[in-house]
Structure 1
Amino acid sequence: MRTFLRFLIVIVLLGLVLGGIFGYKFYQFGQMKEQMSQPQPPVAVSATTVASEQWTPALKSVGSVEAVNGIRVANEVPGVIQEIAFESGDTVGKGDVLIRLDSQIDEAALRTRRAEAQLAAQEFKRIGDLLPRRAVSQSQYDEAKANYDAARARVNEAEAQLSKKVIRAPFDGTLGLRLVDQGEYIATGTPIVEINMLDPIYLDYTLSERELPRVDRGYEVEATVAAVPGETFTGEVSAINTSVNPETRTVRIRATLANPDGKLRPGMFGTVMTRHPEQEAVLTLPRTAVSYNTYGDYVFLIEENDSGQLTVTRRSVDTGEVRGNKVAITGGVEEGDRVVAKGLLRLRAGQPVEIQKEEDQPAEASE
């Protein structure tokens, strides 16, 4: 009997506790329903208008800076470095001396060849004077002439060998770091210094094969590099490869850029904009008016309902190129539509709004 009474008391207490909890939750639900049924005050927003602007079509890509001429200077013959006539980083002209190799043996060999040639010349002249008097045969004359020609050829060979002891700049350019030291013995083909022609300079990049009809030689190119922030380098498309890469389905483009200050260096990574010479009309909005989402970009369109109140509607849009603070809109809205300019995260579809101010769209953003 006592056990039954304890059980009954527990049941009653548990019922009172649960009833209190459910009653409190029901009260909260009623309060929330009452609040939601009340009209919501409009949210103050700034608005902007979808505008039509004239933009120059551009193709964006990335590429690498390449020297018009760029090599590592090396020697054709072995030898000991007798003189180094440059410093790292020098600007040189075509034909300027870079290094001289020890040439004593070659100079001595050249003197020997010249002496032999002189003797052969004298012998050829003597026999040539005797031939008209028939004091020598025609075969003796021919042999003397051949000996003279061979002696002159050996002189030319010795002169060419001696000239290879002097290494000169193959073209105008800027030198890199010196890779050899004075007195060092260098074998044939030893790298001496890197030389690059920096002005003008190439920028090689690729475009998708579907973009090929939209680019041609002479089109304007603008490039930026991370190493020179805030500066734009201009040039033009100078060459288009004649074939498409079958693996990537891209075509290689080469632009030539002016580089008078040498700020662009071979190997730099650059961002390229290839601009079409004709302009086209584009619908634009400020970047702050577009919410970029994984499942699609959208804006909040401002519309007037039947009662004359302004509300917002979430509208999906297709976005294109971004220039400065403007983004091109390729679908979803029309020219003249008003949208919320900023603060999209605090809005939801159907929410009443009050326009606080109209956002300006400066014309320079479209340049």
Structure 2
Amino acid sequence: MKQGPHSLGKKIVIFIVLAIAVVAAMLWTRHEKQGGLPGPLREQAVVGIQAGTVERRNLADVRVFSGTLSAEKQYDAAFKVSGRIREIAVHLGDCLERGALIARLDSEEYEQQLAQARAELDVAEAALAEAQSSLVAAERDYQRALKLRDQKVASAAELESAETEQLARQAGVNLAQAQIKQRQAALRAAEVRLSYTTLTADWHNGPETACRFVAGRHVDEGATVAANAPVVTLVDLSLLKAEINVAERDYALLQTGQQARITIDAVPDRSFAGTVVRLAPVFEETSRQARVEIAVDNPDYLLKAGMFARVYIELSRADQAVAAPITAVIRRLGTTGVFVVEEGVARFVEVNPGIEHDGWVQVDGLEVGQQVVTLGHHLLSDGVRVTTGGEADQAPRQVNP
């Protein structure tokens, strides 16, 4: 089939376009291999950058750890005797002062035991009175027999019998006195058991004005509880502890007494002071971390046990250290360094970075006042001309064949 002039012209145009594309691709490849720009133009190119100044600054190495708040003091309040709960006087969240009533048991059985102990003590005291009366009579008979014996009226056997009776009555008195002590002890035990039917908030350490919060209520009125079964859980929120896990490299820099700062998501506009108080002497084998506890004062009870906490601890500090903006420090071919601007030329200088703090990093190998590149590193190589005034030359887009 014969092609028309229009079709033939269309093919010629396509061919010319393809040829131009091939030539352009070849020239671009050559342009890239030669370093992007012809020599004369490349020497004249100036790269626009941003720079900062090396300064002396006080730097602190502050690490952030995640942890959980827990109560420093917490205990379960429980009855020491079993029984049925007649009354519970507290609710979840109540703040109890020392000696406040928590709950009561049905005490009828223990009241009966107390009454019985008192009655037995009364019987023992009556027996003692009787024994003492008998002892008085026996001593009187003995004295009479002794006089009659001196007068040769009574026989030696009668005197001996009177003496034996006196000793027996004395033994009876001693027995009655021992029984009274026994009944008194039983009475005290009954009184103690009866007191155990009333459960109060009680603790030994801490100021008198401090209170304990009811963190949990485990039983209800009418329930029967065994001795020492938890009724409520009480916590002291005036002093909390933040528990964190620390890796080996940070553990070596910690010690008791170090100050810490704690922030809580629930209280976003405030931080709380803390002190490192305990460091675990062993590391967990699975995580290779050790537990560290930080005491946190909480006088207004804003913090609660179980809250997530961020703990900031200063591990080291350098005062008036030579520091550069942290954005100036880069890695090139495995070397850490910065581009220093000297007379409009960027020179790569190797540095040894140290403490990082608040956007600055401690560096060795630089001098105070030097200008370092903070933005535009990816366009630089050693010896490239730079400008920080926004007048950088634009690299030509044309390619010289």
Q: Which has the larger radius of gyration?
A: 2
**What amino acid does structure 2 have at the position aligned with 1:191?**
P
Q: Write the letter of the residue equivalent to 1:148.
A: I
**CA shift for structure 1 position 18:** 7.9
5+ long unaligned stretches in structure 2? 1-14, 139-165, 204-210, 391-401
| SS of residue in 1 equivalent to 2:237 | coil
Aligned: 1:73 with 2:73 = no
Identify the residue that residue 256 of structure 2 maps to in structure 1: 217
Determine if contact 1:204/1:253 at 8 Å carries over to the other structure. Answer: yes
Alignment of 1:245-324 (within 5 A): 245=283, 247=285, 251-275=290-314, 280-290=319-329, 300-304=338-342, 308-311=343-346, 313=348, 318=353, 320-322=355-357
Task: Spell out the pairing of 1:316-335 with structure 2 (5 A cutoff).
Answer: 318=353, 320-322=355-357, 325-330=358-363, 333=366, 335=368
1:165 and 2:197 aligned: yes
For the pair 1:153 / 2:153, whether they are aligned, the reply is: no
Superposed counterparts of 1:341-360, under 5 Å: 341=374, 343-344=375-376, 347-350=379-382, 351-356=384-389
Aligned to 1:226: 265
Q: Whole-Å Cα distance in 2 between the matches of residues 315 and 294 of structure 1?
A: 10
Answer yes or no: is the 8 Å Cα contact 1:299–1:340 preserved in 2.
no
The residue number in structure 2 matching 1:64 is: 68
Deviation at 1:281, TM superposition (A): 4.3
Q: Is the 8 A contact 2:59 2:356 kept in 1?
A: no
Point out the more displaced range, 270-279 or 173-182: 270-279
- The answer on whether the counterparts of 2:67 and 2:308 sit within 8 Å (CA) in structure 1 is yes
Deviations 1:147-201 (A, max 9, x none): 2122112112211211221112233411124332222223344432221111122
The CA deviation at 1:216 is: 3.7
Q: Deviations over 1:257-284 (max 9, x none)?
A: 2111222222333332334797644443
Work out the number of aligned pairs and report it. Answer: 338
In structure 2, distance between residues paired with 1:167 and 1:205: 36
C-alpha spacing 1:77/1:54, structure 2 compared with 1 (3 Å): same
Of 97, 102, 105, which residue of structure 2 is paired with 1:98? 102
SS at match of 1:89: coil
The 2-side partners of 1:178 and 1:312 are apart by 71
- Give the aligned residue type for 1:160: V
Q: What is the CA-CA distance between 1:98 and the residue it aligns to?
A: 0.6
The answer as to whether partners of 2:243 and 2:291 remain within 8 angstroms in 1 is yes
Whole-Å Cα distance in 2 between the matches of residues 75 and 222 of structure 1? 40
Cα RMSD (Å): 3.9
SS at match of 1:229: strand
SS of the residue corresponding to residue 199 of structure 1 reads strand
Confirm or deny: 8 A CA contact 1:301 1:337 kept in the other structure: no
Give deviations 1:84-109, integer Å, cap 9, x for gaps.
11121111122211111111111122
Normalising by structure 2, what TM-score? Answer: 0.69
Task: Structure 1 unaligned segments of length 5 or more: list them.
Answer: 1-14, 358-367
Aligned equivalents of 1:22, 1:217: Cα separation in 2: 73
Contact 1:283 1:329 in 2 (8 A): yes
Residues 213-270 of structure 1: CA deviation (Å, up to 9, x unaligned): 64443332222233333422113233445x3337366554433221112222223333
SS at match of 1:68: strand
Partners of 1:289 and 1:173 in 2: how far apart?
A: 54
Out of 181, 198, 205, the residue aligned to residue 244 of structure 2 is: 205
Is the 8 Å Cα contact of residues 215 and 232 (structure 2) preserved in structure 1? yes
